[in-house]
Amino acid sequence: MAMVYRILTALMASMAVSGPVAASDYFQPLNSQDGLYDWSGVWIGIGGGTGLIIDEVTAPILGTTISGIGGRGYFGKLTVGYDHAFSNGVVVGASVSGRYGDVDTSWSVPGIPFNGTVTADYGVDVIGRLGYAITPRTLAYVLGGYSWQHFKLSSSSHLVAGSWDDNGYVVGIGTETAFRNNWTWASEYRYSSYSGASIAGFGGASIDPVTHAFHSSLNYRFGGGPSGQSRDPIAYEWSGLKVGAAFSLGVAINKFTTTGGATYDGLATEGYLGEINIGYDREFGERWLAGVVLAAEYIEASSSATAAGITVSAAADDFGFDALLRVGRKFNDHTLGYLIGGYSWQKLSASISVPAISTSVGVNGFSIGSGSEFVLSDTITGYVEYRYTRYEDINLGALTTVDPSSHTVRVGAKLKLY
């Protein structure tokens, strides 16, 4: 709370020294559709998101090797940063983010009264970013840098408990859109990998964690507003028929539950996805849009776990389909923010070695998410989208139930046909 107080104090002080300005002046709209936004200067942000942690666990004393124990949770963050915008639309910057949350993963071992939980609770990212103003008010960027994370390990055994600080790296992508003179909204995907830790006195056991996080934040820019530069206007009509393609990186969390009492919450798979889609949008009112999207996708992802002589595996390595609705609101003539959701179908496979049972089935599910779409030309738009998908359970006979879900971030483009 002390950090929040200091940031709010600095914000009020900066407003005070700027002179007797009405509070409403800080929320003035950006009237020009073609004037470039000024990204230069110091900024602060508050936000949060959802995170996924994947732990590769090796415990020889338990006969356990798990390529990915996946868990999920939420976090909040505070950020301070500085950017410099060049006249050609390129933006470089740096920032420091402090995070606090409860992103954890847990597991138990069949035949042994043992369970464990690893929690990523608080950490810091020090990153640089390189971006380009793809529209007058929207910045697309890549980021990378250093990540420090505190992990906490707890279990049913006093031999397996404790905490450790871990160093690693973070990379990602994001977009940021200005909707008022000093206010912007940013969305990011970040992947972080850490060096891991050994569990002293437990037979050479080790844990190697990685995290996938989806961030959103509201930012206040002390020097924000029109830059005085302009760009040739693009006349784009949002209503119409569009075809598109996208590439995605994502994580699937497959919760296994057996009648023998073992739970993996859940077995995680990392992989990639390719998508083609067709859709129709209709603009109504001054800023609103509604549409439908039909998509076909191919997913490649798999993982496995071995414990007490039993191996379980899960994979998504085939085609799937989506029928989705979306509703959006234009930040300006060139940028759309939207919510998306609807029906999903995917072919998934799962197996258990003892007894030897495997299945490959098509499962129904639902997807929800949000995204940003931005105008690149009079017929082409680009978009970045986060999507969560939950599928129906998969039964491996009467012994094991698999509860699958996935988190994906998609980067793509659409061509307007008419």
Closest CA to 82 of 94, 91, 92: 94
**Count of CB atoms situated within 10 Å of the CB of 172:** 22
Handedness of CA 120, 124, 127, 132 (dihedral sign): positive
Residue-wise pLDDT tens digits, 247-299: 988 787 777 776 666 666 667 777 888 999 999 999 998 889 999 999 999 88
Q: Which residues pair with 140 in a beta bridge?
A: 132, 175
Asked if residue 15 belongs to a domain, the reply is no
Q: Which of 231, 251, 283 is the last residue of a domain?
A: 231
In a domain, 18, yes or no: no
Residue 133 lies in domain? 1-7+36-231
Amino acid (one-letter) located at 116: G
**Pair (252, 385) in one structural domain:** yes
Question: Could you tell me the CATH number of the domain that includes residue 158?
Answer: 2.40.160.20
pLDDT score of 61: 55
- Containing 3, the helix (H) or strand (E) segment is helix 2-17
User: Do 167 and 307 have their domain in common?
Assistant: no
* Helix or strand run (H / E) with residue 6: helix 2-17
Q: Are residues 1 and 104 in the same domain?
A: yes
Higher per-residue pLDDT: 313 or 75:
75
Nearest-5° Cα angle at 202, 199 to 207: 35
pLDDT band of 8, cuts 50, 70, 90 = very low
Residue with more model confidence, 114 or 197: 197
The 10 Å CB-count burial string (b at 16+, else e) for 1-35 is: eeeeeebeeeeeeebeeeeeeeeeebeeebeeebb
Tell me, yes or no, whether 240 and 226 share the same domain. Answer: no
Q: Is 27 helix (H, G, I), strand (E, B) or coil?
A: helix
Query: Strands, DSSP E only, in 222-239?
Result: 226-230
The number of domains in the chain is 2
In this structure, are 81 and 225 located in the same domain?
Answer: yes
Give the CATH number, domain containing residue 298: 2.40.128.90
- pLDDT of 42 over the 80 cut: yes
Regarding whether 221 and 77 lie in a shared domain, the answer is yes
In whole angstroms, give the CA distance from residue 385 to residue 408: 8
Q: Which of 175, 207, 231 is the last residue of a domain?
A: 231
Asked if the structure places residue 191 within a domain, the reply is yes
Q: Considering the domain boundaries, does residue 137 fall inside one?
A: yes
Domain shared by 305 and 185, yes or no: no
Based on the fold, state whether residues 271 and 288 are members of the same structural domain: yes
Kindly state whether residues 312 and 198 are assigned to the same domain.
no
Report the C-alpha gap between 363 and 361 in whole angstroms.
Answer: 6
Domain presence at residue 20: no
Average pLDDT value for the chain: 81
Pair (323, 296) in one structural domain: yes
pLDDT > 70: what percent of the chain?
Answer: 78
> Of 212, 231, 250, which residue constitutes the final position of a domain?
231
Of the candidate ranges 150-154, 242-246, 322-326, 387-391, the one whose mean pLDDT is the lowest: 150-154
**More confident: 24 or 96:** 96
DSSP 276-319: EEEEEEEEETTTEEEEEEEEEEEEEEEEEEEETTEEEEEEE-SE
pLDDT 10s digits, 101-128: 888 777 665 556 667 777 888 999 999 9
69 residue type, one letter = I
Is residue 295 located within the same domain as residue 409?
Answer: yes
Question: In the chain, what percentage of residues exceed pLDDT 90?
Answer: 42
Average pLDDT over residues 68-91: 89
| 198 and 51 in a common domain | yes
Look at residue 26 and tell me if it is in a domain: no
Give the type of residue at 42: V
pLDDT at 7: 37
